[in-house]
Structure 1
Amino acid sequence: MSLTNIIAAPSEKQRRYEVLVATSGVSFMIMLDANIVAVSLPSIAGSLHSAFSGVEWVVSAYILAFVACLMPAGAIADRFGRKKSLQWGVAIFTLASVLCGLSETIMQLNIGRALQGIGAALQLSSALAVLGHEFQGSERAKAFATWGVVIGVAATAGPIVGGVITAGLGWQWAFLINAPIGAALFILATRSVIESRDRLHARLDIGGAVLFAAALACFATALIDGGNQGFNLLSVKMLFLAGALLMMAFIYAERRQKRPMVDLRLFRNPAFIGCSLAMLAFASTCYVMTTYLPVFLQGTFFSNPGKTGLALLPFSIPLLAGPWFAARLSQRFSGRGILVIGLLLAAAGNADIAWAAAGSYLFVAIGMFILGMGAGLLNGETARVSMQVVPLERAGMASGLASTFRFVGLLIGLTGLGAVLTAGISRFFALKRLNLPLADTVNLRDAVHHVATGQLQSWLAGKIPSADTALWLQTAHQGFIFGFSLLMGCAAVIAALSALATFILLGRSSQRL
């Protein structure tokens, strides 16, 4: 069969189905890659003979490029065409993945990861814009429900697939696997997606794009460095200050634009503020738990990674099924109602886990199920509602904003809740310090960090006599549970307050959402 036949125009029904597959597929590839790479980091460090601190940039280079380019990518999609932007995004991401897989030094790998981040921003913003433009009314709810399920599958399957690929084929294939997937999605997008753009978007707001990207890069770097090294560092404070100044300059520049990259008038719309807040809360109190829950389960109930994966099913299954229920509920409830229900479920699930953390796995599993259902309802619904409150011709801007809020919420959850976890462990160690042998000879700050990452036992080796290790590990276990309960309690409060704020803000809107 020739290439011409492969990319020939399909029937209308098949075309719309392929649009859904293509837009969901690129999001799946991005999410799957992120989770696969996280599992592969230790193997990468050993293979490329790099210190693990250097390998951390395998994640950070991708994150910084991705977050810095999200909004400019949405503007590019509106200006030059969403289909074209989607094609470029898939092509850049796929080629960068091949570069990563063929890398022989950590520098080559990190350059490839930065290019992946640029491609991911282009294709994700374009995919959501295409999805919002192609499907309207009840079809939009079903489309975003499907998108949410696909994202949930990628988040759930990523660590498992990553472990299998890394163990069986090597870490290089965690990247090279994107080559055939990307090629297939490129062909699918080429033959099915109809080009659309903002007809009034006369030129690209380059100044706004640069200022916004620089501001987000500063904030993201500050959050990453603050989470790893502490927020009291002068360099972290300077990054936050630089980000704030750049954001003020961005706002000033956008107010002078006739057709700005971000229409600041949206922030006068209570509905837009409400759904953006719901997106932030979803990412920071629900989606972030795909990182925290495995660490908690493996450090508390199960030492075997395989058993930990199975123990996550009460969270994973409703996370996958939730978007489907949201699509059904949308026939009877408004978007406002579904968002509030999802956030309240998230609050209840987090609170249950916080209460049951020191008890049995059964009660934790009940909390995970409730949390997973809330996350599943919010996953696709937050994206759908955020597209609904923005004019159709600005779909690229809407998708860029939605993706930015989702990512920023995730980053805040990882760093902010991580700081809560560390503070809780530190507080527990401070209370138990007098009962610990040789406490004055051990750097407690370093000990707390290793407790949070589950590496205390190997770190203590050689620092204290083996006879005293058992008491340290017991204290560390209790401190970890205390810190994790505090983390989940904070997440519950944030979700509950966000539910109240979303209910009020969307209730003030003149739009029926």
Structure 2
Amino acid sequence: MPQGSQGDAKRGYEPGKFLILLVASAVSSLIMLDSNIVAVSLPAIARSLGATFTDIEWVVSAYVLTFSALLLAAGSFADRHGRKRATLIGLAIFTVASALCGFATSSLMLNLARALQGVGASLLLTASMAVINKTFSGADRARAYGFWGACLGIAITSGPIAGGVITDFFGWRWAFLLNLPVGIVFLVATAKVFKESRDHEAKRLDLGGIATFSTSLFLLIWGLIDGNSLGWTSFAIAWRLLASVVLFVAFVAIEVRQERPMIDFTLFKQPTFLGTAFAMLGYAGAAQVMIFYLPLALQNSYGFTPAKAGLAMLPFALPMFFTPRLGASLSARYSSRALLTLGLATTFVGDLSLFLFSRIDASYGVFALGMVALGAGAGLLNSETSKAMQGAVPPQRSGMASGLTSTTRFTGLLLAVAGLGAALSSSATRHFLTAASALGLDPKSAAEAAPRIASGDLVGAFTNLPDSIRVHLLSAASTSFAAGFGLACLVAAIVAAVTGMLTFVLFQRPARASAPDAPTAGHLVQPME
């Protein structure tokens, strides 16, 4: 932790409160640090387990799926059964799941363990944020979120570097196994420091809502990820997408009849809240998702090692850390409508730049300029969207507030991982099959190699081929991945443009002020950015 922030916190808080803040911040940072470490490790995982791009998508999606699907339920669980208990349970699940990930012998085992890890992470995030909301109020709460955001900001910048170093020198399994000692330390600290708190008005868990929402989300993502391989018009994809829609309609029907629903759908009747939701979806689908795809591009297109790719992520990560502080000063002069539109416009510029740079085979120095713009846009969006949405929910339902804020974002992230992945995979495969045919590779061998191109296993895809053709195929594979990544960036730019216009139109009044006890714009940094 930064010594200045720690010293200021100690001087300003009541005895014991700083320890609570410190543990809550560390627990939240663990979630985001782990996700950033894993992002850099994906090509190494693909090579080690012989995974296809679909398998690699599930390494990310299995975690985000359970995480996002259960955030609202986790918030309700924390409100009803206690925030300290929820944190301890979440830590136990996350630690055990990390061990299973580290010892996985197949992509299926890894993905199932990642899904379990997401369950634990959903409890950790909502409970730790609710503990902060309960422990602090007024100006102290804003300052507490300032420290919390600084801790997560450090994890943002250090995560890719740590992931690259761990993968290069110890192997990708240690990206998960290191969570074991850390998890045990956090369990002890939480048990000693946290005080139990509940929402005494909380009702029982909405099991019907949990089941319909999570199953709907799973079927939608399952259909999007398998669409390229099975065919978008196939029966297998059609029934998944149709069932997803039916279950979501059922979820809405269940929630509108609840006295205290997981999602208060009346909030979406407020234009400003709806504009915030679109901005949040734009942030997730156009900027945050690149946390997972940029490391793949740096390793597959530029040939960087994991450690070098981690360092090469800094032009994206550093602006995400510093821009919220710029947003804090801008929020005193400009409305949330202006800042969110500016954030999405900057994100659009970043994504479009990466698309163009991928097409012209630009050097890394030029490519990094697009990463800077993308990171700056993400930083602005993160702070403003969180402030607006947190302030729209009654403070006594702090668990639901943090769950609602994050569920909107991570549902968008999940859809973006699957949607951009489909664009990347289809384009990379198409370009590679054309290039492989021109090089004389038989169609069967080319078709077998293509799924491993997008996943980053470029060497493994051509193991059994003669050296004379392997060098040319490796070059074709790298170029094909760059084409696929470029298309994904173009789709992301379109998402930023559309959500930016919707945000600008729907915000009907300035929304500068935070709710009295809500974190301020420059202080709030969300996990997994």
TM-score range, shorter chain: 0.7 to 0.9
Q: How is 1:24-423 mapped onto 2 (pairs within 5 angstroms)?
A: 24-37=25-38, 52=51, 61-98=62-99, 113-134=114-135, 143-144=144-145, 146-165=147-166, 173-189=174-190, 193=194, 195-226=196-227, 231-357=232-358, 358=360, 359-423=362-426
- CA RMSD for the aligned pairs? 3.8
Report how far residue 101 of structure 1 moved: 5.5
- Shift in CA distance, 339/311, structure 1 to aligned 2, threshold 3 Å: same
Quick check: 1:147–1:380 contact (8 Å CA) kept in 2? no
Quick check: 2:157–2:318 contact (8 Å CA) kept in 1? no
Distance 1:136 1:321 in 2: 25
Report how far residue 82 of structure 1 moved: 3.1
Report how far residue 476 of structure 1 moved: 4.1
What is the identity, as a one-letter code, of the residue corresponding to 1:374?
Answer: G
Alignment partner, residue 441 of structure 1: 443
Worse-matched range after superposition: 53-62 or 365-374 = 53-62
Distance 1:296 1:26 in 2: 30
1:452 aligns with 2:454: yes
Distance 1:118 1:152 in 2: 23
Report how far residue 343 of structure 1 moved: 1.5
Report how far residue 85 of structure 1 moved: 2.4
Report how far residue 20 of structure 1 moved: 3.5
Quick check: 1:145–1:326 contact (8 Å CA) kept in 2? no
SS in 2 for 1:507: coil
Higher relative contact order (CA 8 A, sep 6+): 2
What is the identity, as a one-letter code, of the residue corresponding to 1:338?
Answer: L
Quick check: 1:141–1:384 contact (8 Å CA) kept in 2? no
- Shift in CA distance, 247/35, structure 1 to aligned 2, threshold 3 Å: same
Distance 2:167 2:486 in 1: 33
1:431-466 deviation digits (Å, cap 9, x = unpaired): 7687x1436635655554344334455424546x65
Quick check: 2:83–2:198 contact (8 Å CA) kept in 1? yes
Quick check: 2:335–2:511 contact (8 Å CA) kept in 1? no
Quick check: 2:67–2:118 contact (8 Å CA) kept in 1? yes
SS in 1 for 2:507: helix
Worse-matched range after superposition: 326-335 or 312-321 = 326-335
TM-score, structure 2 normalization: 0.80
Q: Could you list the structure 1 runs, at least 4 aligned residues long, displaced by more than 6 angstroms after superposition.
A: 41-47, 102-111, 430-434
Quick check: 1:97–1:116 contact (8 Å CA) kept in 2? yes
- Shift in CA distance, 438/145, structure 1 to aligned 2, threshold 3 Å: farther
Report how far residue 265 of structure 1 moved: 1.0
Distance 1:292 1:329 in 2: 30
Report how far residue 484 of structure 1 moved: 2.6
What is the identity, as a one-letter code, of the residue corresponding to 1:459?
Answer: A
- Shift in CA distance, 424/92, structure 1 to aligned 2, threshold 3 Å: closer
Report how far residue 128 of structure 1 moved: 3.0
Alignment partner, residue 424 of structure 1: 427
Quick check: 2:50–2:460 contact (8 Å CA) kept in 1? no
Worse-matched range after superposition: 498-507 or 118-127 = 498-507
Alignment partner, residue 491 of structure 1: 492
How many residue pairs align between the two structures? 501
Distance 2:188 2:487 in 1: 48
Report how far residue 481 of structure 1 moved: 3.3
- Shift in CA distance, 166/184, structure 1 to aligned 2, threshold 3 Å: same
